[in-house]
Amino acid sequence: MISNKRTILTATLAAIGASACCIGPLLLLSMGISGTWISSLTAMEPYSPIFAGITIILLCWAFYRLYITPEQCDDGKLCADKRVLRNQRVIFWVICCILISMITFQYYAEYIID
């Protein structure tokens, strides 16, 4: 069974893959690296929908694990503490916001760059 941490980490990596074609050139420009070759950094663009789909599936899986079937623990274990579950859920929603903004970056990038 995949743990919640591993699921969210894998979703993060998939979102980075999905947004690499759009965020990569912007990051290079923000660091002062420029040139006409930056426009050719779109090799990952055809794979963006695949990575985005993987990200959405993994986020749904993490949601299912956190809300639908939370882990059942014996009393005295760390996972039985309600604060741990609350912290996991907060981290999940923060990561969700970051990943969704990365996946959808190509749709609002023109408003940031212009």
- Give tens-digit pLDDT for 33-87: 766 666 666 666 777 788 788 888 888 888 988 888 877 777 777 777 788 888 8
- Report the SS3 class of residue 37: helix
Q: Which residues contact 64 (CB under 8 A, 6 or more apart)?
A: none
Q: Which residues contact 106 (CB under 8 A, 6 or more apart)?
A: 19, 21, 22, 48
Report the alpha-carbon distance of residue 12 to residue 16 in Å, rounded: 6
- Report the SS3 class of residue 81: coil
Asked if 22 and 108 touch (Cβ cutoff 8 Å), the reply is: no
- Answer yes or no: is pLDDT of 22 > 80: no
Asked if 98 and 14 touch (Cβ cutoff 8 Å), the reply is: no
- Confidence bin at 1 (pLDDT 50/70/90): very low
Higher pLDDT, 24 or 92: 92
Report the alpha-carbon distance of residue 54 to residue 60 in Å, rounded: 10
Query: What are the DSSP E strand ranges found in 1-114?
Result: none
